[in-house]
Amino acid sequence: MPRRGLALATLSLAWIACGSPASSPDDAGPPRGDDAGLASRRPATRDPLDPSGRAAFCEGSGALYLPGASGESRCADRTTEHAFRFAVCSCSDLSVNAPLTTDGFDSARGPYTEGAPGGSVGVNGDAAANARVAVGGSLWASGDLDSGARVDVAADLHVGGEVRGFNLGVRGGAAVGGNVTVASMTVDGDLTVPESALVQGASARQVRRAPVSVAPPCGCDDPIVTELPAIVARFADDNDNAAIDLDPASLESAGDTELNLPCGMYYLTAVGTTGLTLRVEGRVALFVAGDVTTEALTVELVGEHAEIDLFVVGDVHASSDFALGDPARPSRSRLFVAGESVAIAPESLAVGNVYAPRAGVDLGAGVELFGAVVAGSLSANGPVSVHYDHDVLRAGDDCEEPTGCAACGDCPSDQACVDGTCGACATDADCCAPLVCAGGLCLPVLQ
């Protein structure tokens, strides 16, 4: 199946104009993108733990496969590209009590520029903005949206329930499943509401009457988390620790520690250090059976193929630094947490894509995160900014093509699941939120 180009220097995601949201498939709107840069995929290898697979994995051309409960291996890189479709995703109601700003960039195409398009926000439930919110992409909420402060959405707005409150600006289109009763709401595109919905205080290019349904947008039930204890236990005896003389229990209680990690799979029972620096010199997967508790957690990516997947069964707390990689390429750093708590210290320059759908994630005041976060619940007691890296959507390029599908999340991120087969999309509804259909591909929507 032809997909996007795979050489990072030449990859490009289409920049898609907004105007009518996915809930309005009959309104084609302005041109939505192109298929520039597409190329055939490289062959994938099933298991990097086998000699042939390990060589490809360490050369940067093989996927990371993990054992599944059914005995079949699962491509973790496919999970990555679907877990991190949003800059911020809450698996429950979200109440924003401090300013939140998101934007985006594509580390495969160039450096971060403040305020660049991208960085969607998703909420599985109700969303309440009690402080200023500026979303650089789309905003999706399956429940109601209450705005007690100014909310700006650079792309489209999708709300399954009602929209109430103070002052909203939407540069794209809006689809709302209930009444719209606001002091002021400006929609540059179309506003779509059900036939019986009340619209008060909102202006739009036109108001369209049609059914609107918004499913929970965040993927919070991936089995990689529910099965993580068993996955990590498998690597207790099948790992590369011996190659670097790493005792699995050596970091349970330690001072400042630096580990040099060449390409491989490594296992630790727990981390309890005053500081931990990981120098990652290739493609690395690190499995931790307990908690990670440290003052400073730092990952240094060394070399062209350096990247890390960190799998933690317990909680993760960093009381000062939380930098899981390079802010110039945050797509290369992923953290999967099965525990109940993740804490990032205030005023941190944080890096990484954090998938913690069971955890309460505490972003300290002044946190600037290069990457993305999926949280069971999310809290912040001060301003937070998130800079989303679109390159994470390419993480699964080396995974094998699925033989069938039940939902869009079973397919490569730029493909739709149509009649049980992964392939071209026909409408935005075929794509996983917040992606939209452009030229048969599911791509990020950018204003």
pLDDT reported for residue 242: 96
Residue with tokens 């699995």: 248
The DSSP letter of residue 332 is: G
DSSP 422-447: EE--SSGGGSPTT-EEETTEEE----
Report pLDDT for 214: 97
Asked if the model's pLDDT at residue 252 lies above 90, the reply is yes
Q: Is pLDDT at 47 greater than 90 in this prediction?
A: no
**Sequence-distant (≥ 6) Cβ neighbours of residue 110 within 8 angstroms:** none
pLDDT at res. 62: 73
Percentage of residues in the chain with pLDDT exceeding 70?
Answer: 86
pLDDT at 68: 75
**C-alpha gyration radius of the chain:** 21
pLDDT above 50: residue 8: no
Over residues 143-196, the pLDDT tens digits come to: 999 999 999 999 999 999 999 998 999 999 999 999 999 999 999 999 999 999
pLDDT at 23 over 60: no
Distance CA 427, CA 4 (A): 19
pTM above 0.85, yes or no: yes
Give the mean pLDDT of 103-129. 96
Beta strands in 218-270 (DSSP E): 254-261, 264-268
Residues 6+ apart with CB under 8 A from 196: none
pLDDT band at residue 2 using 50, 70 and 90 as cut-offs: very low
User: Across the chain, what does the average pLDDT equal?
Assistant: 87
**Which of 395, 435, 399, 387 minimizes the C-alpha distance to 415?**
435
Q: What is the mean pLDDT of residues 354-383?
A: 95
Give the mean pLDDT of 285-298: 96
Q: Would you say residue 51 has pLDDT above 80?
A: no
CA distances from 333 to 130, 239, 340, 387, 393 (A): 31, 20, 21, 14, 13
On the CB side of 180, CA atoms within 13 Å amount to: 28
Q: Per-residue pLDDT averaged across 266-288, rounded?
A: 96
Measured CA angle at 126 (ends 122, 130), to 5 deg:
90
> Which percentage of the chain shows pLDDT scores above 90?
76
Amino acid at 150: R
- Region 100-121 average pLDDT: 96
Structure confidence by residue, pLDDT tens digits, 377-401: 999 889 999 999 999 999 998 888 8
pLDDT band at 360 (very low <50, low <70, confident <90, very high): very high
Weakest-pLDDT range from 11-20, 252-261, 321-330, 412-421: 11-20
| Pairwise CA distance, residues 315 & 44, whole Å | 33
Q: Tell me: pLDDT of 53 over 80.
A: no
